[in-house]
């Protein structure tokens, strides 16, 4: 094997470790996206409720402040 080609070849274990790390990073990224979307939805609903209450309307549907 020539020295130039040897730098591109990697052992199977290294390739498997890299693939496992990439899949773990993908899972973490997807988890962060899902949690972020959940929080955005909850904050939007809370903002709508606060707008309703501050406008002086009665019968606003949503959570009540403690």
Q: What is the pLDDT along the chain (66 residues), one digit of tens a residue?
A: 455 555 555 577 787 788 899 999 999 999 999 999 999 999 999 999 999 999 999 888 865 544
33 within domain boundaries: yes
The whole domain housing 46 covers 10-54
Among 51, 40, 36, 37, which Cα is nearest to 62's? Answer: 51
User: What is the domain count for the chain?
Assistant: 1
36 within domain boundaries: yes
Q: Decide: 62 and 45 in contact? Cβ < 8 Å.
A: yes
Is the pTM for the entire model greater than 0.75?
Answer: no
3 within domain boundaries: no
pLDDT of 66: 41
Question: CA angle, corner 35, sides to 27 and 38, nearest 5?
Answer: 140
């Amino acid at each position: 094997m020539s020295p130039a080609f040897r730098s591109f070849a990697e052992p199977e274990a290294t390739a498997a470790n890299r693939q496992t790390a990439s899949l773990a990073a993908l899972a973490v990224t997807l988890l962060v996206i899902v949690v972020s979307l959940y929080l955005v939805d909850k904050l939007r609903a809370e903002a709508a409720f606060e707008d309703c209450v501050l406008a002086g309307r009665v019968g606003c549907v949503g959570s009540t402040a403690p």
